[in-house]
Amino acid sequence: MSAYAIMTGNMLQIGDQFDHFQIQAHMAQGGMSDIYRAFDLVNRREVVIKVPDQSMLGDPAQFERFQRELEVMKTLDHPAILKGLGSGKYNRIPYLVTEFVDGKSLRNLIETSAPLTPEEAVSVTRKIADGMAYCHQNDVIHRDLKPENILVTADGQPVIMDFGLALTKGSHRVTYSNLSATMGTPDYMAPEQIEGQRGDQRTDVYALGTILYELLSGAVPFTGDSNMVIMAQHLNGTAPRLDRVNPSIPSALAAIVAKCLSRDPDQRYTDMAALVDALDHPENADLAILERSSSSSAVGMSIEQKQVAQGVLIAVGIIGGLILLAFILQYFQHY
């Protein structure tokens, strides 16, 4: 089967040759892409190939996300970052080639082993934070950190992937790409993302703080029966104190997580390098933040806060709808 099969909506099969890669297995389908394990016949190594499916090829917004990932991964080289090996086109079909990592998602680790001990949770998070510190130093903001986007190898090395929503220095903001500001996973979205802002390094700090909270407690800090409810809690709620949810957690570590989860970005760690330093030196944690968290949690969301949160969510929905409409009109005018 040739790459033409992709253009007609059929998946590649085991044994098919795609450019100079031989397909070994179909690993996953999601995010409007197909992901294959393949053998590089030129460099004699196993790799992963990510190919946009037919629906993405007809969707400029999603295709831009794919192209963005291609560009970002070319610039990064760190043990905690999925290594991009190259990209190309075959029969007009773009593809991304990355290293093959033999591991399972962090989601799998959470589902089978959480809550982890504080030592285990900090070890994993520290390595993720180190990789993200490298990204921030290279002007890359991930904006979609979540357990599903992190692999963990058998020796405990996390590997961050999926940079489709990443921002880079000087990156332009195409009209229809504005929708990406609220395309993150609600469980890990920072308040400023929910409000439709682009986000910055502190947005990633919030997401990783949420992941660390989940590793330590076995649950995300905010839950609800709908995405709207979860987003409202991120906007105005306060996460329960970790050292009360799980008494085995040191207060200093609970304070570090609470700082990551501050609603106001100015109250968080400025970037991942600062979080790495905090994890390395928990004795410097500001324990007073726990008392402020406790009082906020006890009060809960006032009627006024709920009304503000609902208003913001409605506004975000309206703005998103208008942006989508503008994109559709722009798209059909172009084609």
Q: What 3 state SS string does 271-300 have?
A: CHHHHHHHHHCHHHCCCHHHHHHHHHHHHC
Residue 182 has pLDDT above 60, yes or no: no
- pLDDT tens digit sequence for 300-318: 444 444 554 455 555 555 5
User: How far is residue 296 CA from its own chain's centroid?
Assistant: 27
pLDDT at 302 (0 to 100): 46
When pLDDT is averaged across residues 26-33 and rounded to a whole number, the result is 78
Residue located via tokens 């703080």: 209
264 a catalytic residue: no
Distance CA(2)–CA(296), nearest Å, equals: 59
Given 40, 144, 162, 271, the catalytic residue: 144
Residue of 2, 1, 67, 4 lying closest to 33 (CA atoms): 67
pLDDT band at 10 (very low <50, low <70, confident <90, very high): low
pLDDT at 180 (0 to 100): 42
pLDDT at 235 (0 to 100): 96
Higher pLDDT, 171 or 221: 221
Encoding tokens for residue 21? 């890669």
Higher pLDDT, 206 or 88: 206
When pLDDT is averaged across residues 93-117 and rounded to a whole number, the result is 95
For the chain, the distance separating the N- and C-terminal CA atoms, rounded to the nearest angstrom, is 30
pLDDT at 181 (0 to 100): 41
Residue 27 has pLDDT above 70, yes or no: yes
Encoding tokens for residue 162? 């999926």
Residue of 208, 201, 193 lying closest to 168 (CA atoms): 201
Encoding tokens for residue 250? 């040191």
User: How far is residue 305 CA from its own chain's centroid?
Assistant: 27
pLDDT at 192 (0 to 100): 97
pLDDT at 132 (0 to 100): 99
Distance CA(238)–CA(221), nearest Å, equals: 8
Query: What is the identity of the amino acid at 49?
Result: I
- pLDDT tens digit sequence for 41-87: 999 999 999 988 776 666 777 777 777 888 898 889 999 999 999 88
36-50, 152-166, 178-192, 321-335, range with the lowest pLDDT: 321-335
pLDDT at 259 (0 to 100): 98
114-118, 138-142, 310-314, range with the lowest pLDDT: 310-314
